[in-house]
Amino acid sequence: MRSAEALQDAAAVWDIATPSGPPRLPGVTMAGFRARTREFVDLSVVPYPAVTLAVDLGDGPLAVDDITGRRHNGSVVAGLASIGVHGRGHDIECLQIRLSPAVAHAVLGASSDLAGTVVTLDDLWGRDAARTEERLRAAETWQDRFAIAEAALARRHEEGRPIDPEVAYVWARMERNHGGIRVEPLAAEVGWSRKHLWSRFRAQTGINPKRAAQLIRFDHAAHCLAAGRSAAQVAAEIGYADQSHLHRDVRAFAGVTPTAVADAPWLAVDDVAWATPGAGLR
């Protein structure tokens, strides 16, 4: 289990709200974050197997730096496998939304342009971004905010371009196998060549199937490490060639060693924000 100290550290920094019911759209999860301190907060954002949308609702502004050092102010979208992202600011309050690639393709409409990058929500939604943000700021409760966000996502999903069912199937198979499956069998399952799957998958998710599998496997490994299992156990059980292979992947995605992951505050927040619907603020 995560250490009590890690959970206490997370609780000391954030008030966290979650929706009271199941998501309106499958593949969408969301949580509200409000900093408990007026002091400057510097957040290291670790890649997760979803496209992440952060709507800035604080007196802020929220500043988000990408791996190139470029700074984005306000509401942003981080594509799959965005590494080296930092969020910074005072009095942070934001709505964070995680979109599966199948949903993100329709909702955002720019999957191939988001590969490992951060862009502002204005760049993708135009004036609709400002209108949605205004409604979210005016809402009196987090549950109202979740309802507003879900309605906006559902509308854009209905109007957007659906992802290829073959690509959605391959992503789902990767998730079920925690990234421990090769591309060739998946291509055969959907009746495509490896080259065609590689091309369509990258065009619609922003990353290629191999990178997607690595990201999903890393996320599974990080949660296993945080649950108290040793690096040697995790490497052996989830398909890494050896412990040094696990170490390289964790270092590449998270910037820390497997040992440091066990008490990582970003995983302690996961236990509160992304676990049980209905926890936290209202």
Which residue from 146, 145, 52 is spatially nearest to 100, judged by alpha carbons? 52
Helix (H) or strand (E) holding 157: helix 142-159
Buried residues in 196-215 as b, exposed as e (16+ CB within 10 A): ebbebbbebbbbbbebbbbb
Mean pLDDT by 10 residues, the chain (282 residues): 53 82 89 82 83 89 85 90 83 92 85 76 91 95 96 93 94 93 94 96 92 94 90 91 93 89 76 55 35
Q: In what order do the strands lie in the sheet with 14-17?
A: 14-17, 28-35, 93-99, 51-56, 76-78, 118-120
Structural domains of the chain, with CATH? 4-162 (2.60.120.10), 165-261 (1.10.10.60)
Q: Nearest-5° angle of CA 123, CA 169, CA 187?
A: 105
Q: Which residues pair with 96 in a beta bridge?
A: 31, 54
What's the pLDDT score for residue 219? 92
Find the farthest-apart pair of alpha carbons in the chain and give their distance in angstroms, rounded: 55
